[in-house]
Amino acid sequence: MTLTACRQLRVMMNASLSHARQVLADWREDYNTVRPHSQLDGRTPDQVARQVSRGHAPETLVIPSTPNHKKRELSF
pLDDT value of residue 14 = 77
Distance between CA atoms of residues 76 and 33, nearest Å: 26
Q: What's the angle, vertex CA 47, arms to CA 44 and CA 48, rounded to 5? A: 90
How many C-beta atoms lie closer than 10 Å to residue 47's C-beta? 16
Q: What's the pLDDT band for 53 if we cut at 50, 70, 90?
A: low
pLDDT value of residue 76 = 45
Percent of the chain surpassing pLDDT 90: 14
Q: What's the pLDDT band for 34 if we cut at 50, 70, 90?
A: very high
- pLDDT single digits (tens) 3-30: 787 787 777 877 788 888 888 899 999 9
Cβ–Cβ < 8 Å for 37, 31: no
What would the 3-class secondary structure string for 34-56 be?
CCCEHHHCCECHHHHHHHHHCCC
How many C-beta atoms lie closer than 10 Å to residue 33's C-beta? 12
